[in-house]
Amino acid sequence: MLKIAFYDTKPYDREWFEKKEHNGIEFRYYEHRLDSDTADFARNCDGVCAFVNDTIDKEVIDRLYDIGIRLIALRCAGYNNVDFKAAYQKISVVRVPGYSPYAVAEHAMGLLLCLNRKIHKAYFRTRDFNFSLNGLTGFDLHDKTAGVIGTGKIGQVFISICNGFGMNVIAYDPYPAKNSGITYVSKDELFKRSDIISLHCPLTDETKHIINKESLNKMKDGVYIINTSRGSLIESEDLYEAIKSGRVGAAGLDVYEEEADLFFEDMSNCIIKDDVLKLFLSLPNVLITSHQAFLTAEALSNIAGCTIDNINAYFSGEALENEICYNCLPGERHGKCRKKEKGRCF
Ligand code: NAI
């Protein structure tokens, strides 16, 4: 029986992993996140299963390697929390590249609709028998320009949703999707022309703080910014200043730069030390959800199914379609990976 240490377990993870056929795999569920203090929980296990806010840096990788771990199965698409250089040729890393682009794209549109039509405010008003409409005016999305940064799986679904609303869509992606019919423009043109900007690119050295003081200054007054990708795409203090000055009309954030110690947990009895987050939460035109864009039944089912398939493929010596490594990733070593010939990165 394979034993997999399953970190940062939430009830919905356990429910969906246990529902899936996983003969031959015993998941050892831990509520703790993976970090240097908890890496030892995986002793006597064959692999670990980790999520977005687990720490998978060199120290953790070396510890896991020392106790015999050779597989990290990420149950997510993003992998910016992994030190791939440290893992290379030691521990294989597999992920779930796409589990429901609809889940995330629909949530992004949900944030936009809610902010624009002030549904979050209306909900509280009517519960208090306050049926006034003052201050709830929105605008038609029809004919507005949506600027989409990153046109992979989620970005493309978001674009088709925007098209359904009769919006004009422009996009920026250094690797444009071929034959997609998407109108690509430069980053600067996107900043200049968009009424709404939605981020759907991964967090890399190149995209870190893609939304900052400089890019915000290039945008239209009143622009809406939606981020369902990764918090560090936005320089939070710069965004706060732009909202405070009225230049940014609203922000819908499913991810936040400093989310790691907060999101996914009930912190309602704690004193939150992050002043920028508190300021954001005090603003009527900022809507924060705690990294929940992926959270649909379909996505959870696909995550569990794909992770179990990845684990089985690794231990039965099969090719690893969903493996990623130091040489696969964007950057100077991009393209040097030998997975195409060998079926595995190393
Ligand atoms: P994908 O890999 O299909 O698409 C990413 C796109 O970004 C690609 O087209 C790529 O060319 C583009 N890109 C790369 N570098 C770029 C740059 N410098 N500027 C602009 N675009 C760039 O990924 P997918 O599945 O669409 O996911 C996008 C992101 O969504 C993930 O990286 C992840 O961070 C985030 N995500 C968030 C979730 C949530 O629950 N909030 C759940 C799943 C993913």
Q: How far apart are CA 239 and CA 244, in angstroms?
A: 8
Q: Quick one: which of 26, 24, 53, 25 has its CA closest to 38?
A: 53
Reported as a pLDDT band with limits 50, 70 and 90, residue 259 is: confident
Reported as a pLDDT band with limits 50, 70 and 90, residue 15 is: very high
> What's the average model confidence in pLDDT over 288-308?
97
pTM, entire model: 0.92
- Residue 291 is a catalytic residue: yes
Q: Please list the residues that pair with 224 across neighbouring strands.
A: 196, 250
Q: From residue 65, how far is each of 46, 47, 60, 251 by CA, in Å? A: 11, 10, 8, 41
Q: From residue 236, how far is each of 85, 211, 258 by CA, in Å? A: 28, 9, 9
337 token code pair = 């990976």
- Residue 127 is a catalytic residue: no
Atom of ligand 1 nearest to the CA of 229: 35
Q: How many CA atoms lie within 13 A of 70 on its CB side?
A: 9
Pair type for strands 323-324 and 92-94: antiparallel
Q: How far apart are CA 216 and CA 202, in angstroms?
A: 19
| pLDDT > 70 fraction of the chain, expressed in percent and rounded | 99
Give the distance from CA 343 to its chain's centroid: 27
Give the distance from CA 319 to its chain's centroid: 26
Q: Tell me the angle at which helices 297-315 and 11-19 cross, rounded to the nearest 10 degrees.
A: 60
- Residue 230 is a catalytic residue: yes
Q: Could you report the per-residue pLDDT of 56-83, keeping only the tens digit for each?
A: 999 999 999 999 999 999 999 989 999 9
178 token code pair = 């071929």
Residues sharing a CB contact under 8 Å with residue 251, sequence separation 6 or more, in sequence order:
115, 224, 225, 226, 227, 239, 243, 280, 285, 286, 287
Give the distance from CA 189 to its chain's centroid: 25
Q: Could you report the per-residue pLDDT of 209-218, keeping only the tens digit for each?
A: 999 999 999 9
Q: How far apart are CA 57 and CA 116, in angstroms?
A: 39
Query: Which residue, judged by its Cα, is nearest atom 23 of ligand 1?
Result: 152
Show the domains of the chain with their CATH numbers.
2-99+297-343 (3.40.50.720), 101-288 (3.40.50.720)
Q: What is the mean pLDDT of the chain?
A: 96
CA dihedral 185, 187, 188, 190 (to 10 degrees): 60
CB-based pocket (< 6 A), ligand 1: 77-78, 98, 101, 104, 149-155, 172-175, 200-204, 206-207, 228-230, 254-255, 291, 293-294
Q: Which amino acid is at 60?
A: V
Catalytic residue among 230, 235, 257, 323, which?
230
Q: Which of 173, 186, 203, 254 to mutate to test the pocket of ligand 1 (most atoms within 8 A of CB)?
A: 173
* Contact between residue 227 and residue 196 where contact means Cβ atoms under 8 Å apart: no
pLDDT given at position 332: 64
